[in-house]
Amino acid sequence: MASDLKNDGNTTHIGQAIQKLLQSYHIKSKFDEANLIASWERLVGKVLAKHTKKLHIRNKVLFVELDSPSLKNDLVFHKTRILEIFRNEFGADLITDIIVM
């Protein structure tokens, strides 16, 4: 049965269709920002996520408020690596910097 289905060249993968829809409504960046915030724990780990009080994105800058001074220092020290993780996951133009508060 599945072999009876043929790709006629006019089909689009569902992920591609969603991306096109988001771009056409000019909401892709907002969707990606929300996705990044929702993925925070998975991307940075449970310990850092547990001590994160607030996250928000403005003008491609991620603002992170932490409740631990030692984790603030760790985050600043590893900022380049975390930015690299975000770029690999969401593309190079979503986040350009991280400000730790």
pLDDT tens digits, 23-76: 887 787 788 888 899 999 999 999 999 999 999 999 999 999 999 999 999 999
User: Is residue 25 in a domain?
Assistant: yes
CA dihedral sign, ordered 86, 36, 42, 99: positive
Number of structural domains in the chain: 1
Query: Does this model's pTM top 0.85?
Result: no
User: Is residue 2 in a domain?
Assistant: no
pLDDT digits (tens, 9 = 90+) for 70-90: 999 999 999 999 999 999 998
User: Is residue 5 in a domain?
Assistant: no
- Under a CB-based contact definition with an 8 Å cutoff, are residues 59 and 93 in contact? no
Range of the domain at 96: 12-100
Q: Is the pLDDT of residue 8 over 90?
A: no
